Homo-oligomer: A and B are copies of this chain.
Amino acid sequence: MSQISLEELQLAARNHALPLEALRFDITPIGLHYLLVHYDIPDIDLDAWTLEVDGLVECPLSLSLDDLRARPAVEVTMTMECAGNGRSYVEPHVVSQPWLYEAVGTATWRGVAVGGLLDEAGVRDGAIEALFVGLDRGVEGGEEQAYARSLPVEELLASDAVLAYEINGVPLPPQHGHPLRLVVPGWYGMTSVKWLERIELRAEPFDGYQMRHSYRVRMDEDEPGEPITTIAPRSLMVPPGIPEFSTRERVLEPGRCELSGRAWSGAAEIVAVEVSTDGGASWAHAELGEDRLGRWAWRSWSFSWDAEPGEHELCCRARDATGAEQPLRPPWNVGGYKNNAVQRVRVIVR
């Protein structure tokens, strides 16, 4: 990895990663779930706040938080990951939020089903996209903007998307989008717009900065590239043993060591996790845990390792039902997106 600049460090300080040992929790405790805030956490007057649903609808809606809470509630437990996770490992270096492996978390979100609310508003013929607009404002790529992303109506209605006002049983904290955010299971986190102000049904695709410029896989600045959608397969392990403070290298005793971790994919269910204890030269199957958390959340895995004295590089890789598997080396693209290369954990057994 190249060294990183003060500007990137400023982003890393604001945008919190999951400490890897927190992979042991089925549901990530609040304060450990990853967090990406493009601009500032907005200061919202809840008494004045409403969600507007407008554009190509039969009946525009303007709803307070109490209005939303009065509607039938649904819950979804899902693993959310940033599309830029792994960016610090791509070469050549890409300047943006410098994630390592840990831009992930799993939470139970409670709120109103997006499908139900759109039914209530009545989506008119010709509406092809729903645009979600947040209250967070900033300048990016030279454009002043509110953070906003759109989704095809068809995909949105086929999804388990929720307008969430609670996380893990408590009202959304400010950093997770209070009072209301979108969560879209299986998609990278950029889709789950926080601090929602408005949903607009549109006849034309939305061409804002976060659709046109950000969150596209392109091999050079001038090509339009492919939009980023669902989460590619990834697995992570709880680093075994104890850490060295500065290097985060792991130290452990020889003998039986139960490795464990999580694996997830947005496109399809996880079908296999493999572990390597020799830096990826050879692989063996890990055992997948029970599917307790449902389709949209990570799956636990475990692997019993007979740790012999010496230095080892532990790796894990996941494969989903489409056959997609984590690569051994980081893929590159202009934005440093979707680097789901295998995790490498250096361990000293002594």
Contact = CB atoms under 8 A, between A and B. Distances in A.
Interface of A: 1, 3-7, 9-14, 16-17, 19, 21-22, 24-25, 29-33, 35, 37-41, 43, 88, 95-96, 98-100, 102, 137-141, 144, 173-176, 239, 242-248, 251
Contact of A139 (B11, B95, B245): B245
A295 B95 CA distance: 42
Contacts of A41: 19, 21-22
Interface centre among A29, A33, A96, A102 (most CB of B within 10 A): A29
B9 A98 contact: yes
Nearest to A99: B13
Given A31-B175, A243-B139, A244-B139, A19 B40 contact: yes
Given A21-B40, A138-B244, A12 B12 contact: yes
Contacts of A95: 246
A25 B178 CA distance: 14
Nearest to A167: B31
A203 B1 CA distance: 49
Contacts of A11: 246, 248
B12 A19 contact: no
Contact of A100 (B5, B10, B100, B138): B10
Contacts of A19: 14, 37, 40-41, 175
A282 B75 CA distance: 55
Nearest to A39: B243
Given A31-B35, A139-B244, A140-B244, A4 B7 contact: no
Given A9-B100, A40-B19, A242 B3 contact: no
Given A4-B4, A30-B31, A100-B9, A139 B251 contact: yes
A121 to B, nearest CB: 30
A245 B144 contact: no
Interface centre among A32, A37, A88 (most CB of B within 10 A): A32
22 contacts: A9-B12, A9-B88, A10-B100, A12-B12, A13-B102, A14-B102, A16-B16, A16-B31, A19-B175, A21-B41, A22-B174, A29-B175, A31-B35, A32-B173, A32-B175, A39-B243, A39-B245, A138-B243, A138-B245, A139-B242, A139-B245, A140-B246
Given A173-B31, A251-B139, A1 B6 contact: yes
A12 to B, nearest CB: 5
Contacts of A17: 13-14
For the complex of A and B, the 8 pairs showing the least CB-CB separation, nearest first, are A3-B3, A31-B31, A13-B17, A140-B245, A21-B40, A16-B16, A139-B244, A12-B12
Contacts of A21: 40-41, 43
A175 to B, nearest CB: 6
Contacts of A13: 12, 17, 99-100, 102
A138 B25 CA distance: 21
Nearest to A41: B21
A9 B40 CA distance: 22
B244 A30 contact: no
Contacts of A176: 31
Nearest to A176: B31
A245 B38 contact: yes
A173 B96 CA distance: 30
